[in-house]
A and B are shown apart, each in its own frame.
Chain A
Amino acid sequence: MSATTVVPQLVQILRTLVTTGYSTEHSISGVSDPFLQVQILRLLRILGRNHEESSETMNDLLAQVATNTDTSRNAGNAVLFETVLTVMDIRSAPGLRVLAVNILGRFLLNNDKNIRYVALTSLLRMVQSDHSAVQRHRPTVVECLRDPDASLSRRALELSLALVNSSNVRAMTQELQSFLESCPPDLRADCASGILLAAERFAPTKRWHIDTILRVLTTAGTYVRDDAVANLTQLIGGAQELHAYSVRRLYSALAEDISQQPLVQVAAWCIGEYGDLLLEGSCEETEPLQVEEEEVLALLEKVLQSHMSLPATRGYALTALMKLSTRLRGDSSRIRQVVSIFGSCLDVELQQRAVEYNTLFRKYDHMRAAILEKMPLVERGGPQVDGEAEESKETQLSETALVSTEPQASKLLDLLDLLDGTSGDAQPPPLLDPSPGGTLIHLLDLPCAPPPPPSIPDLRVFEREGLQLSLSFVRPPGTPALLLITVTATNTSGADVTHFICQAAVPKSFQLQLQAPSGDTVPAQDGLPVTQLLRILNPNKAPLRLKLRLTYNHFGQSVQEIFEVNNLPVETWQ
């Protein structure tokens, strides 16, 4: 006999309870025995969950409870809420679902915060299944955004974001943006990313999209996610017709405020790329803005020197200045000056860039225009959305083109220089590393990079009952006396190895540094191995001797092993 046969009885009990069963000692403020009602409703919910027949039996009763319960006090609201939850979960008739949504809508208008909170939470759950019904209550939800209670506004924010669709996107974004301006800091990140996501999905026009992102960046720039910058640059790059408009908007925004890093980064990039559009004539879509070359340069210099700018932002600004040297009609002596100042900057990244750009001015002036051309459109979702990678690809292309015309070079010195440059370029990197502009290193790195270090074979040093220890060696090319050993412990047995500690000892002339291990448990059956890094400095190039001490628990016993590592390859210390 399955539990669902009990449903008719439950329905009967609840019906009598609601209609006639009133007893003073069991009831709360006019509602007969709300605890019992809630429990019955909950049971009905579980029974009717995937069961058509039971759900049908319940339909009438639920409608009756929903309409007859007195909602002036919390007890009645509690019963009503449980009814709504039950309706949502069983296979109810569509009319009943609409009734449930309406009840929740009524809850939203209630003055009691608790009830509003509960209503918002349930509506969030319902928004997937009954989207259109919930949409009707959108204005009330937006009202709740402005509530001073933090938990309420958080719920309202989540629900509002779920309710955005293509027809109401403009109005909703407006509301959300005014919320963003006044909301507490912990909600800002969510709100900002929510707005950006909604804009991405439902943007009616590209211009609106750019405007929205711009507004979000100016209001809550520090809270946006990191890829917002990349997204925006890619978006602007793709909207050919809006280049002039975007660069003007960004320029005015930047002129007002240089503290919001993502905004500064995007603005710097744009000004660099489309500087010529900024300076020439007027654009119909914004008010006429007469910008002088000097002003643009001054602004970028201000960004470079401001203590609020992150190193990444400074990088963007420096590159933008460089690009402007080809775009602007005036002479580039001011730019050269700034770039050479940064040649002695403490930040390695900036210094590198500045030195390269300087070289570009001095020796490769004939290539400068080609290198600093406008970037082609970046691939969305490619391995590196950062525009700097594209730039380096361009520079490589122009470089190889120049090499093919090399035979005409008049000076021997130039020939040798260029050969060195290309061999430097042939090294593995154009690696797509995350730091912007990092790939430019290898193009203009005139001295040859040393050959990659020969790899030393791994050594298996210890094996006991399924626990194996192996060492892998690395000799970094830059530091001849340094040896890095990675100790890896793997477990092929059936029991876990716990409390695993590995200690090492070396002769007196060596310096040993043990870094923290990745863990102290090696799970059984080839679970995740534990690794530990050892750094050994060997300034005298003495023969390496290594003693290892292991303590661990395995198969319920504690094990201690001390042994010397034999057969260390000669390359580890020579």
Chain B
Amino acid sequence: MRFMLLFSRQGKLRLQKWYLATSDKERKKMVRELMQVVLARKPKMCSFLEWRDLKVVYKRYASLYFCCAIEGQDNELITLELIHRYVELLDKYFGSVCELDIIFNFEKAYFILDEFLMGGDVQDTSKKSVLKAIEQADLLQEVR
């Protein structure tokens, strides 16, 4: 995977994770372009599209778009599963997650993503162990 983006229907970027080093200017440009393309898609259209030389897999959950850019030889269907697994992890952690949870606890969202994916590939396929690792990290953190 090259990168993963989360953005709202209004075009606000909530989360971005880049697995390939790109300059800030380049990133902003890509984000802008991709948001335009994805937001223009109609609801019944298929979840895959071709953009530049990458394949983009996106899925809409309530008001959030989860967007992954994968390379030519990657499997699109498993990426859909990956997105779903991430949403499930968030859901389990936050308890019925909504966009506000991600907005206010974005660092937790990043932690969970980093626990689940590494370098763009799935690191741990077990939901339980990912959540356990996050719980342990939380214990170490000071609770205000």
A121 to chain B, nearest CB (A): 8
Question: Contact between A151 and B49 (Cβ–Cβ < 8 Å)?
Answer: yes
Is B47 on the interface with A (CB-CB < 8 A)? Answer: yes
Residues of chain B within 8 A (CB-CB) of A38 are: 75, 78
Interface of B (DSSP majority class): mixed
B45 to chain A, nearest CB (A): 5
Is B3 on the interface with A (CB-CB < 8 A)? Answer: no
The answer for the CA separation of A102 and B85 in the assembled complex, in Å, is 29
Is A279 on the interface with B (CB-CB < 8 A)? Answer: no
Encode contact with B along A108-123: 1 for CB under 8 Å, 0 otherwise. 0000011111100000
Is A533 on the interface with B (CB-CB < 8 A)? Answer: no
Residues of chain B within 8 A (CB-CB) of A77 are: 77
Number of A-B residue pairs, CB cutoff 8 Å, is: 70
Contact of B81 among A75, A85, A151, A152 (CB under 8 A): A75
Question: Contact between B78 and A34 (Cβ–Cβ < 8 Å)?
Answer: yes
Residues of chain A within 8 A (CB-CB) of B45 are: 113, 149-151
Complex interface: stretch among B24-32, B62-70, B105-113, B121-129: B121-129
Residues of chain A within 8 A (CB-CB) of B81 are: 28, 34-35, 74-75, 78
Question: Contact between B127 and A25 (Cβ–Cβ < 8 Å)?
Answer: yes
Of B48, B127, B129, which is in contact with the most chain A CB atoms at under 10 Å from its CB? B48
The answer for the CA separation of A78 and B78 in the assembled complex, in Å, is 5
Given A81-B77, A118-B76, A36–B44 Cβ distance below 8 Å?
A: no
Question: Contact between A35 and B75 (Cβ–Cβ < 8 Å)?
Answer: no
A239 to chain B, nearest CB (A): 41
Question: Contact between A149 and B44 (Cβ–Cβ < 8 Å)?
Answer: yes
The answer for the CA separation of A96 and B46 in the assembled complex, in Å, is 29
Residues of chain A within 8 A (CB-CB) of B102 are: none
Is B82 on the interface with A (CB-CB < 8 A)? Answer: yes
Is B80 on the interface with A (CB-CB < 8 A)? Answer: yes
Is A33 on the interface with B (CB-CB < 8 A)? Answer: yes
Residues of chain A within 8 A (CB-CB) of B49 are: 151
Of B46, B48, B49, B127, which is in contact with the most chain A CB atoms at under 10 Å from its CB? B46
Encode contact with A along B36-71: 1 for CB under 8 Å, 0 otherwise. 000000001111111000000000000000000000
Contact of A82 among B50, B78, B85 (CB under 8 A): B78
B44 to chain A, nearest CB (A): 7
Encode contact with B along A425-463: 1 for CB under 8 Å, 0 otherwise. 000000000000000000000000000000000000000
Is A51 on the interface with B (CB-CB < 8 A)? Answer: no
Given A78-B75, A82-B75, A85-B75, A117–B48 Cβ distance below 8 Å?
A: yes
Is A499 on the interface with B (CB-CB < 8 A)? Answer: no
Please give me the residue from chain B that is nearest to A85 by CB atom. B75
Q: Which of B66-110 contact A (CB under 8 A)?
A: 73, 75-78, 80-82, 85
Tally chain B residues at the interface, Cβ within 8 Å: 23
Contact of B125 among A33, A85, A115, A151 (CB under 8 A): A33
Residues of chain B within 8 A (CB-CB) of A42 are: 75
The answer for the CA separation of A79 and B77 in the assembled complex, in Å, is 8
Encode contact with A along B124-144: 1 for CB under 8 Å, 0 otherwise. 011111000000000000000
Residues of chain B within 8 A (CB-CB) of A34 are: 78, 81
B130 to chain A, nearest CB (A): 10
Given A35-B125, A81-B75, A149-B45, A114–B82 Cβ distance below 8 Å?
A: no
Question: Contact between A26 and B77 (Cβ–Cβ < 8 Å)?
Answer: no
Question: Contact between B75 and A26 (Cβ–Cβ < 8 Å)?
Answer: no
The answer for the CA separation of A189 and B98 in the assembled complex, in Å, is 44
A507 to chain B, nearest CB (A): 45
The answer for the CA separation of A115 and B48 in the assembled complex, in Å, is 10
Question: Contact between B77 and A118 (Cβ–Cβ < 8 Å)?
Answer: yes
Residues of chain B within 8 A (CB-CB) of A115 are: 77
A392 to chain B, nearest CB (A): 47
The answer for the CA separation of A25 and B122 in the assembled complex, in Å, is 15
Given A38-B75, A118-B77, A113–B46 Cβ distance below 8 Å?
A: yes
Using A34-B78, A113-B46, A151-B50 as known contacts, list a sample of 7 further A-B pairs with CB atoms less than 8 Å apart, ordered by residue number in A: A38-B75, A77-B77, A79-B78, A81-B75, A85-B73, A113-B44, A118-B77
- B residues engaging A (CB < 8 A)? 44-50, 73, 75-78, 80-82, 85, 121-122, 125-129
**The 10 residue pairs across chains A and B that have the minimum distance between CB atoms:** A78-B77, A113-B46, A78-B78, A25-B128, A35-B125, A35-B122, A25-B126, A117-B46, A38-B78, A149-B45
